[in-house]
A and B are shown apart, each in its own frame.
Chain A
Amino acid sequence: MSIKKISKEELSQLVSTLIASGDRVEGVQAKDDKFAFGPLTSADDLRLDYDVTLLSPRKYVLPPVESLMTFEVGGRYQSEYDTEKLTLIGVHPYDMIALNQIDQVFSQDEVDNHYTTRRKNMTLIACDVVTPSENVFASSMGTATVSEGYDILLTDIGDAYVADAPTEKGQALLCNAADATAEDLAKRQAVQERNQSDLNRHPLNCKIEDLPQLLEKAYDHPVWEEKAASCFSCGSCNQVCPTCYCFNVQDDVSWDLKSGTRSRAWDGCLLENFANVAGDHNFRKKRNDRFRHRLYRKGKYVPEKLGIGTACVGCGRCITACVPGIANPVDIYNTLLNDIKL
């Protein structure tokens, strides 16, 4: 299908229709002086001009706590799946790329059908960034624009949106929209080109492809110790990160002690007990080991596992969330670049 154009009123009507249908619709809204994804009850609440959301949209594909199965005490386990239809509106390109990565993790090797079931029931409406956030560095990470994963990508060109719908789900929503003109497409390209250079509050001093090689040589660099010395092991950097997906599994028993639920919940590699085993042995006991592990996952381990460029998409959330101000990945990579020859 060709690329469409819809006016701001038309988008608003579309969102109103979706809400009226009774299906679950979630989107970006103002929350005090910040922004957050949440349930939409009125199209007027949708804010596609936001800078960054507090939590990433990862919470929709991997909820903070999610039931995997129910059981009877003493035997019989029964899988549980979340099959609710959901339309999610306002995912920025860097977050879309993060979702694409998590999609890959949960469908590679052994497929996690809890994840894929939920994902198949989602319609994802992404949008190009209008307002850069205070800590974004997506331009440095090659994630300022996105070309796949969404059902619709909206680009604000002033009085209207250019809307690209590569999937049937997306096309169905745009069936009444007019085609975008060459002039509209040129405006869209200008927005995307601007974002490719301007979403860059923390410029990285090397190419993303160089990061694994840089980290290869940086394992014993003093920066880990220096930064981690003031780390609280609070795990906030994991919590806000759109590409963190590690989880814990726990059982809860109902009040009559006869049945219960096994669920998974977010976990974080910065938390002290993440690598603990019986006999009170902790494989990452020292803070700097945990601190380094996160940066290696973002820059080396996950990229190697998935065959992608980087698992840090430059949203800047960890920079904002970290109270002692040590979590900035670019800061660390640039420090390493000062000392290490590639």
Chain B
Amino acid sequence: MSECCCGEKDIYLPELATITRMQHMNETELFLHLELDSGKELGHMPGQFVEVSVAGIGEAPISNTSSPTKSGFDLVVRKIGRVTNAIHAMKEGDKLGIRGPLGHGYPLEDMKGKDLVFICGGIGLVPQRSLINYVLDKPEDFGKVAILFGAASFEQRLYQDQLARWAQNDKVQLLETIDKPHPEWSGNVGVVTTIMNQIDIDLANAISLICGPPIMYKFVIMSLEQANVSNENIFVNLERRMKCGVGKCGHCQINHHYACQSGPVFRYSDLSDIPEAI
């Protein structure tokens, strides 16, 4: 019962990767650095994801958060259910199954020379980081960068060290907000749209990239449209339930689009007549 008759690769079979570094970022988010046991690089592009397997529990789609300009790859996993709880219980040296890279990432060619505005809600910062670091590693290829980050609470501000490093970069304007006030917080309070008017970049000529909880997209896109940003210049990173990651299981469909194949990154103008998208 074990031979495939056609010699083709098993698209569902994970390969092993070792956790070489891990760090609990806060109560719910865990940072992992992984290396494939084969010694090869994953070969991902910013915006792509992997299916992470814990044998005996299952798989979860997780975004690549590191730029392919670095060796190995980083993931950030939010503890929310069976697979993600199991990952949180692991330690350095443990092994995870990996399938990927999967999906369609950011179209880098179309962004060359442009100013980029990253609008991130909560864990939506995680996939965007793969592109932010890529762009900052190749400063000659891109224009200025604005990073807007909204967290639900003071404790849920992710990547504080990383944000501080970005803030020191001359090319970067960092704007942060939290939804609820906190005694130690003197910055902006309110949802991410309340800091969009502080962006120094000319929005109408820039590329805007949105990733966050499902509810966020509609409001951010409304604000961008008010700022005369055309739908061609907006990219959204959409989460859907994913089982196979390769266009077979049907779970990730957004009307006729398969988020695992034509996404998770979509150009918004390709979705404007897709009612299930936003």
A277 on the interface (CB 8 Å rule)? yes
Q: How far is the CB of B57 from chain A (nearest CB, A)?
A: 6
| Complex: A300 Cα to B8 Cα, angstroms | 31
User: Do A248 and B1 contact each other (CB < 8 Å), given the known contacts A219-B275, A260-B56?
Assistant: no
Digitize B219-251: 1 where CB-to-A-CB distance is under 8 Å, 0 elsewhere: 000000000000000000001110110111111
CB distance from B1 to the nearest CB of A (A): 6
- Counting from the closest, the 9 A-B pairs by CB-CB distance are A246-B250, A71-B55, A301-B256, A79-B10, A278-B80, A253-B56, A113-B8, A75-B95, A110-B246
Residues 82-109 (chain A) with a chain B CB within 8 angstroms: 82-84, 105-106, 109
Binds A, one of B11-19, B65-73, B126-134, B176-184: B11-19
Considering the chains assembled together, what is the distance between the CA atoms of A203 and B4 in angstroms? 43
| A245 → chain B closest CB, angstroms | 7
A251 touches B1 (CB 8 A): no
Is A308 part of the contact surface with B, judged by Cβ < 8 Å?
no
Rounded to whole angstroms, the CA-CA distance of A300 and B94 in the bound complex is 45
In the bound complex, CA of A300 to CA of B1 (Å): 37
Least Cβ distance of A267 to chain B in Å? Answer: 7
Q: Mark A166-200, 1 if CB is under 8 A from B, else 0.
A: 00000000000000000000000000000000000
Could you show 24 A-B contacts with beta carbons less than 8 Å apart? A68-B10, A69-B13, A75-B95, A77-B14, A79-B4, A83-B5, A111-B6, A113-B8, A114-B4, A114-B12, A116-B8, A120-B5, A246-B249, A247-B248, A253-B56, A260-B56, A267-B249, A269-B250, A275-B241, A276-B241, A278-B81, A281-B214, A284-B276, A300-B256
Q: Among A79, A109, A274, A276, point to the contact of B261 (Cβ < 8 A).
A: A109
Q: Known: A249-B59, A249-B243, A296-B255. Is A82-B261 also a contact (CB below 8 A)?
A: no
Residues in B lying within 8 Å of A, measured CB to CB: 1-6, 8-14, 16, 53, 55-59, 78, 80-81, 84, 94-95, 97, 213-214, 239-241, 243-244, 246-251, 253-256, 261, 275-276
Q: Does A44 contact B (CB under 8 A)?
A: no
Across the interface, which residues of B come within 8 angstroms of A77, CB to CB?
Answer: 13-14, 53, 55, 97
Closest residue of chain A to B242 (Cβ to Cβ) is A277
The contact string, 1 if C-beta is below 8 Å from chain B, for chain A 302-319, is: 001100000000000000
Question: Is the Cβ of B5 less than 8 Å from the Cβ of A117?
Answer: yes
Bound-complex Cα distance A305 to B250 (A)? 12
Q: Considering the chains assembled together, what is the distance between the CA atoms of A116 and B59 in angstroms?
A: 23
A117-B6 in contact (CB<8A): yes
CB distance from B121 to the nearest CB of A (A): 12
Compute how far the CA of A305 lies from the CA of B240 in the bound complex, rounded to whole angstroms: 19
Cα distance A71–B8 in the bound complex, in angstroms: 20
**Bound: A106/B251 CA distance, A:** 15
B243 adjacent to A283 (CB under 8 Å): no
Contacts of A76 in B (CB 8 A): 16, 55
Cβ of A158 under 8 Å from chain B: no
Secondary structure call for the A interface: mixed
Please name all residues of chain B whose beta carbon is closer than 8 Å to the beta carbon of A222 when the two chains form the complex.
none
Residue of A nearest to B238 (CB): A283
| CB nearest to B15 among chain A residues | A77
8 Å CB contact of A250 from B58, B78, B261 = B58
Cross-chain contact of B255 among A110, A269, A277, A301 (Cβ < 8 A): A301
Contact A75 B2 (CB under 8 A): no
* A269: B residues at CB distance < 8 A: 250
Closest CB in chain B relative to A98 CB, distance in Å: 15
Cα-based distance from A301 to B58 in the complex (angstroms)? 29
Closest to B57 in A: A251
Assess whether B12 is in contact with A301, with CB atoms less than 8 Å apart.
no
Question: Does any Cβ of B come within 8 Å of A229's Cβ?
Answer: no
CA A250 to CA B244, docked complex, whole Å: 11
Inter-chain contact A279/B57, CB cutoff 8 Å: no
Task: Please state if A112 and B56 are interface contacts (CB–CB under 8 Å).
Answer: no
Contact A267 B56 (CB under 8 A): no
B251 touches A275 (CB 8 A): yes
Tell me, in angstroms, the Cα distance from A6 to B2 when the chains sit together.
38
A60 in contact (CB, < 8 A): no
- Are A112 and B11 interface neighbours, CB within 8 A? yes
Using CB atoms, name the residue of chain A closest to B10. Answer: A79
Query: With A and B bound together, what is the CA distance between A111 and B248 in angstroms?
Result: 10
B contact residues around A68 at 8 Å (CB): 10, 12
Q: How far is the CB of A238 from chain B (nearest CB, A)?
A: 10
Q: Is A230 part of the contact surface with B, judged by Cβ < 8 Å?
A: no
Residue ID in chain B nearest A247 by CB atoms:
B249
Question: How far is the CB of B53 from the nearest CB of chain A, in Å?
Answer: 7
Find A248's partner among B2, B56, B243 (CB 8 Å cutoff). Answer: B243
Residue A73, interface by CB 8 Å: yes
Given contacts A73-B55, A246-B251, 6 further A-B contacts (CB under 8 A): A68-B12, A77-B53, A83-B1, A83-B5, A113-B9, A267-B249
Instruction: Chain A residues near B59: list those with CB within 8 A.
Output: 249
B264 to A: closest C-beta gap in Å:
12
* Residues in chain B near residue A275, CB distance under 8 A: 240-241, 251
- Chain B residues with CB under 8 Å of A249's CB are 12, 58-59, 243-244, 249
Given A76-B16, A79-B13, A283-B240, also A116-B6 (CB < 8 A): yes
Q: Please name all residues of chain A whose beta carbon is closer than 8 Å to the beta carbon of B56 when the two chains form the complex.
A: 71, 73, 251, 253, 257, 260
Contact of B10 among A75, A82, A113 (CB under 8 A): A113
Cβ-defined contact, B58 with A75, below 8 A: no
B238 to chain A, nearest CB (A): 9
Q: Nearest chain-B residue to A304 (Cβ)?
A: B256
**A267 proximity list for chain B (CB < 8 A):** 249-251
A166 to chain B: closest CB distance in Å? 21
Minimum CB–CB distance from B125 to chain A (whole Å) comes to 16
Q: With A83-B1, A109-B247, A245-B250 in contact, do A274 and B241 touch (Cβ < 8 Å)? A: yes
